[in-house]
């Protein structure tokens, strides 16, 4: 899995007697993971992908959440738990008193190992108030990964002036996350006005033929404005990761 350059150096060290074959073998095989029994925390992910492992809280017990958070924290990696209920947070906080709950985003974080200066500019736009939890998850994730992030909520296409009045603000973003449920038209309208990359997040808001967000998802995939990319329904976290990765480019 390693790069030829690293491999070559290692082989030269073996050839030069500076590294025993067994040690080289171990390094070639070293699992970059922390085996907690019920989970193998991928500690190499941050180095490999710039995104540490993240804890998806639904269905996990509090001890499991705490154990993974501790393993990541011990490795001096940023810690984020998504879709956490207030009850989960309260229980987690007993073991990890520094844990912070972000209610609108339904997320738990631990203080970063070192202060990080936010850079660049990400905008997170959403269509209606019901879409805010997903938008907040995107915005929090984006900030947690180091991006300066601007929120613009409740600017749906039913009243276009709300959007048009914020065009200037919108045009300052390097990348824009657009969150919408129901007919999912907002990303098309936004992307038709900007040159920045647009990431569309369908939400499950709607009823009947919204099919729990499938209508919005299909609309976004079929946008008449080219260049929009899409993440899974309600996946604010994924959009935040993508936005931060794009925002990081220099």
Rule CB under 8 A: say whether 236 interacts with its own copies.
no
Rule CB under 8 A: say whether 228 interacts with its own copies.
yes
Helix segments in the chain, DSSP class H: 4-15, 21-29, 45-49, 62-74, 86-95, 132-144, 160-164, 167-171, 186-191, 214-221, 236-247
Rule CB under 8 A: say whether 45 interacts with its own copies.
yes
Q: Which is nearer to its own copies, 99 or 230 (CB)?
A: 230
Contact map string, positions 74 to 93, toward its own copies, x by CB under 8 A: --------------------
Q: How many alpha carbons lie under 13 Å from residue 37 in its C-beta half-sphere? A: 3
Query: How many residues lie near its own copies (CB under 8 A)?
Result: 115
Rule CB under 8 A: say whether 172 interacts with its own copies.
no
Q: What sign does the dihedral 236-97-46-63 (CA atoms) show?
A: negative
Q: Which is nearer to its own copies, 93 or 229 (CB)?
A: 229
Which residues ranging from 48 to 67 are in contact with its own copies (CB under 8 A)?
A: 48-51, 54, 56, 59-60, 64
Among 128, 138, 139, 147, binds its own copies (CB under 8 A): 128
Rule CB under 8 A: say whether 168 interacts with its own copies.
yes
Alpha-carbon distance values, 144 to 74, 110, 126, 167, 250 (Å): 18, 10, 19, 26, 19
Among 79, 99, 126, 196, binds its own copies (CB under 8 A): 196
Q: Which stretch binds its own copies (CB under 8 A): 69-77, 95-103, 107-115, 199-207?
A: 199-207
Beta-carbon neighbour count of residue 112 at 10 Å? 13
Judge whether 189 and 163 are in contact, CB under 8 Å.
yes
Q: Which stretch binds its own copies (CB under 8 A): 5-13, 70-78, 93-101, 105-113?
A: 5-13
Rule CB under 8 A: say whether 32 interacts with its own copies.
yes
Residue 46's Cβ-count burial label (10 Å; 0-12, 13-18, 19+) is middle
């Amino acid at each position: 899995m390693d790069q030829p350059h690293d491999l070559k150096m290692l082989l030269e060290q073996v050839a030069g007697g500076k590294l025993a074959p067994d040690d080289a073998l171990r390094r070639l095989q070293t699992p970059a993971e922390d085996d907690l029994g019920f989970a193998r925390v991928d500690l190499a992910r941050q180095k490999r992908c710039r995104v540490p492992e993240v804890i998806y809280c639904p269905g996990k017990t509090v001890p499991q959440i705490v154990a993974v958070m501790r393993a990541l924290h011990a490795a001096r990696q940023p810690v984020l738990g998504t879709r956490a209920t207030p009850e989960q947070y309260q229980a987690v906080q007993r073991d990890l008193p520094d844990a912070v709950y972000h209610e609108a985003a339904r997320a738990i974080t631990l203080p970063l190992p070192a202060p990080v200066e936010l850079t660049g500019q990400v905008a997170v736009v959403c269509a209606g108030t019901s879409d805010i939890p997903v938008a907040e998850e995107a915005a929090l994730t984006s900030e947690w990964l180091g991006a300066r992030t601007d929120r613009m909520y409740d600017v749906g296409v039913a009243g276009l002036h709300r959007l048009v009045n914020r065009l200037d603000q919108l045009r300052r973003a390097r990348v824009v996350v657009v969150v919408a449920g129901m007919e999912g038209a907002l990303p098309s309208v936004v992307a038709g006005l900007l040159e920045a990359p647009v990431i569309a997040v369908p939400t499950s808001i709607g009823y009947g033929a919204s099919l729990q967000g499938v209508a919005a998802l299909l609309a976004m995939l079929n946008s008449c404005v080219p260049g929009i990319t899409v993440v899974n329904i309600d996946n604010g976290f994924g959009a935040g990761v993508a936005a931060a990765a794009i925002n990081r480019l220099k």
